[in-house]
């Protein structure tokens, strides 16, 4: 069984790297003019540096590789393959996310590469742990999908850092309990790196954004751990419990937009966590709600999993229903606090009526949602850059002149972005 000292050592290593690597990454961000210009769907109001997830992703990768080199993540050749697979998934997601950050990737190509990551991970896991073809396919699709879920949910201060910390610790605890060293140590590597990102992300007026590199690694790592745990015979509820809140928010939002005839990848602000900020919650307040819901649902589903293992089917169903009720309350919170329902409401009759008219949904979407480009990344309402005191992270000037010109012209982000950037989806 993985020792507490091993877990603590890797958590500490990931945290220290995650706290210090941003200083090394800063010159790279300057070189590539990695500045996020706000638009109408943004949760921030002033241009802010994005792409700091490069440091967080690197910290996650290095910490887990170190644990593997120490021989802590495996007990056999088969489990070594699992550890190598996790490291490869993190590295591939990092490469894809960074490419998306610096130049943009078309929707089709991006989705294809995400699915490739999912297939390679699932096939590698399946060859060691064994599973049927259907489960393998579902695992591949889930990993690719959760990369996007983490990307979609990366839209306010602290949310991704908190999710990485909580979900990572959940998988660390699960791996420790069921004696899966690769699961436990990968979990603490994710938790430590994203915990270190939090101070960088929530500092008023001096915060930085995670970017695609960071959100892709977060999604790939957590999705891989969930599927890996499932393939290793960890009960389904326990394997996926830490991710259920994110899945509920992103899933209901995408479903609602699809049923309304909207293009799911177009920019919007209708996620539950975004709507909470619209009704008066601060970024950290909304993050606290999401994180608290994540913890509560995880505890309930883990308890339900234990009840099921003990043969208490009725009690299991009851606890699962309570967890679902918690998710429903979370999804309805914006309305409970006086907010309106999302503009893209679910109306099946309108949906199917529009479909019967051929191109009607496309025309509606085109007029309702103009393309805005996708220069935004994750989170924050920083102070105006001109009012920020210079620091070691943000020396003068805080943003390149080329970006300052864009900052005062809201529409220029759209006009100057490439076609691939226009189709980058719900990147906040």
What does the block give as tokens for 156?
């306010």
- Taking only the tens place, the pLDDT of each residue in 83-136 is 999 999 999 999 999 999 988 889 999 999 999 999 999 999 999 988 889 999
The pLDDT assigned to 205 comes to 66
Measure Cα distances from 41 to 160, 213, 232, 369 in Å: 18, 21, 40, 11
With CA atoms as reference, report the closest residue to 135 among 117, 123, 151: 123
Backbone φ and ψ for 157, nearest 5 degrees, come out as -55, 130
Sign of the CA dihedral with 260 first, then 262, 264, and 266 last: negative
Residues of the chain with pLDDT under 70: 35-49, 205, 264-265, 343-428
Query: How many angstroms separate the CA atoms of 149 and 250, rounded?
Result: 6
- Taking only the tens place, the pLDDT of each residue in 110-119 is 999 999 999 9
Terminal-residue alpha carbon distance, the chain: 40
What is this structure's pTM? 0.79
Query: How many angstroms separate the CA atoms of 58 and 62, rounded?
Result: 6
3-state secondary structure of 411: coil
With CA atoms as reference, report the closest residue to 385 among 398, 402, 375, 404: 398
Backbone φ and ψ for 263, nearest 5 degrees, come out as -80, 120
Sign of the CA dihedral with 96 first, then 97, 102, and 106 last: positive
């Amino acid at each position: 069984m993985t020792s507490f000292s091993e877990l603590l050592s890797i958590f500490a290593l990931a945290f220290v790297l995650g706290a210090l690597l941003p200083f090394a990454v800063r010159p790279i961000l300057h070189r590539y003019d990695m500045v996020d210009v706000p638009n109408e769907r943004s949760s921030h109001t002033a241009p802010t540096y994005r792409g700091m997830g490069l440091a967080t992703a690197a910290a996650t990768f290095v910490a887990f590789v170190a644990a593997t080199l120490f021989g802590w993540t495996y007990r056999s050749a088969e489990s070594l393959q699992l550890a190598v697979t996790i490291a490869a998934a993190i590295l591939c997601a990092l490469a894809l996310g960074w490419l998306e950050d610096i130049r943009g990737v078309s929707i089709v190509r991006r989705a294809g590469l995400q699915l490739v990551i999912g297939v390679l991970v699932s096939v590698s896991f399946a060859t060691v742990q064994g599973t049927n073809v259907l489960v393998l396919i579902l695992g591949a699709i889930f990993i690719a999908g959760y990369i996007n879920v983490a990307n979609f949910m990366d839209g306010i201060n602290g949310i991704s850092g908190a999710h990485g910390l909580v979900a990572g610790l959940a998988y660390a605890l699960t791996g420790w309990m069921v004696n899966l060293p690769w699961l436990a140590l990968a979990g603490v590597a994710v938790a430590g790196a994203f915990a270190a990102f939090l101070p960088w992300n929530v500092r008023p007026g001096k915060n930085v954004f995670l970017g695609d590199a960071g959100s892709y690694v977060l999604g790939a790592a957590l999705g891989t751990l969930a599927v890996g745990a499932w393939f290793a015979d960890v009960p389904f509820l326990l394997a996926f419990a830490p991710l259920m809140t994110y899945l509920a928010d992103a899933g209901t939002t995408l479903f609602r937009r699809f049923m309304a005839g909207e293009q799911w990848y177009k920019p919007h602000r209708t996620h539950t966590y975004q709507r909470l900020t619209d009704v008066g919650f601060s970024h950290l307040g909304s993050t606290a709600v999401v994180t608290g819901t994540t913890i509560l649902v995880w505890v309930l589903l883990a308890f339900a999993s234990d009840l099921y293992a003990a043969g208490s089917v009725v009690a299991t169903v009851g606890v699962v229903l309570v967890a679902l009720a918690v998710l429903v309350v979370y999804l309805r919170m914006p309305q409970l606090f006086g907010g309106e329902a999302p503009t893209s409401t679910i109306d099946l009759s309108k949906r199917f009526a529009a479909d019967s008219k051929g191109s009607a949904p496309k025309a509606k979407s085109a007029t309702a949602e103009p393309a805005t480009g996708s220069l935004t990344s994750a989170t924050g309402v920083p102070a105006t850059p001109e009012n920020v005191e210079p620091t070691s992270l943000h020396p003068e000037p805080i943003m390149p002149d080329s970006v300052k010109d864009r900052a005062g012209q809201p529409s220029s982000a759209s006009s100057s972005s490439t076609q691939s950037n226009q189709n980058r989806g719900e990147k906040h």
